Amino acid sequence: MGLYVPLLQIANMDVFVYLANCYYNFDMQYYTGRVLEIRLEIYKFPSYIFECPPAAIPAPGQYLQAFSPQDPDLALATTLFPSSLPVQEGATSNIELHPSEKVDWEPGTNLQLRGPLGTGFKLPEEASRVALVALGSHPACLLPLMAQALSQNAAVALFCNEPPPGLPAAVEVNRLSAYQEATLWGDYTAFEMPIQILNTYQKRLGLPPDLPLPSNAEVLIHSPMPCAALAACGVCSVKAKRGWKLTCKDGPVFQSNILTQ
């Protein structure tokens, strides 16, 4: 069963929510998750430790949509990105999830989770030098990929002006400005950036404006995703070499060679 409803043609948000719920009930996997702990030290707003079924765990770069039944006034769900690898606890898994916007959930809150959604990172097993470049406000989204790279004994360098606390000693931490001298160092590079700077990211890194992304790179694009692959509303569209791609469905992680720069 499919559903295509252009968001801009829906005048009544209640109609959109109803149609989205119909699609959600037939086509999407959904689970119940519980907030175990609040982590206050990361960036502008907290991240959360969740207990949820293993099937609900997103891979690095994928995302979940979370809705609180206790907050019926919130029309749209909250996007959650993993900021750790999961820890198996019996029949459930614990994982740290980072919201794309500020929320006020307390420990013990039960949430409806939809997903995992989207395309995540594909770290090659043979990668021996991994560069992580955080250009946005959610560098915590790169932490699961960092842990994955370390687990396969790769050298890892993080380029970020506000690195998260408690990073492993094995990670080399650099300011963003240092990346211009390391563009050829990594045999795999992962970028994290907002959609607004996709075509101007070179300026922030001090690179020539016509320098393309490395051919061995992937890019996690942060964008508003109001329909989260339910209705192809087009709000999160990015220009690709062949037409347009939806961040919520085709991404949020894209291979650099398919993007237009």
Q: What is the 3-state secondary structure (H, E, C) of 162-213?
A: CCCCCCCCCEEEECHHHHHHCCCCCCEEEEEEEHHHCCCHHHHHCCCCCCCC
Of 13 and 116, which is predicted with more confidence? 116
Structure tokens at 202: 């070179």
Chain mean pLDDT for the chain: 85
pLDDT at 117 over 80: yes
Domains of the chain: 12-116 (2.40.30.10), 129-258 (3.40.50)
Nearest alpha carbon to residue 142 among 87, 84, 222: 84
Q: How confident is the model at residue 25 (pLDDT cuts 50, 70, 90)?
A: very low
Give the H/E segment covering residue 27: helix 13-27
Give the H/E segment covering residue 190: strand 188-194
Q: Are 205 and 180 in contact (CB under 8 A)?
A: yes
Of 16 and 37, which is predicted with more confidence? 37
pLDDT of residue 26: 41
pLDDT at 200 over 70: yes
Q: Are 239 and 223 in contact (CB under 8 A)?
A: no
Q: How confident is the model at residue 17 (pLDDT cuts 50, 70, 90)?
A: very low
pTM, two decimal places: 0.85
pLDDT in tens, 57-76: 999 999 999 988 777 666 67
Percent of the chain, pLDDT > 90?
60
The length of the chain, given as a count of residues: 261
CA pair distance 142, 188, nearest whole angstrom = 13
pLDDT in tens, 154-180: 999 999 998 888 899 999 999 999 999
pLDDT in tens, 125-145: 999 999 999 998 778 899 999
pLDDT in tens, 237-250: 999 988 999 999 99
Q: How confident is the model at residue 4 (pLDDT cuts 50, 70, 90)?
A: very low
Q: To which residue do tokens 């050829």 refer?
A: 184
pLDDT of residue 159: 97
Burial class of residue 21 (count of CB atoms within 10 Å of its CB; 0-12, 13-18, 19+): exposed
Comparing 28-37, 42-51, 107-116, the range with the smallest average pLDDT is 42-51
Please, which residues have CB within 8 angstroms of residue 181's CB and are 6 or more apart in sequence? none
Of 61 and 77, which is predicted with more confidence? 61
Q: How confident is the model at residue 218 (pLDDT cuts 50, 70, 90)?
A: very high
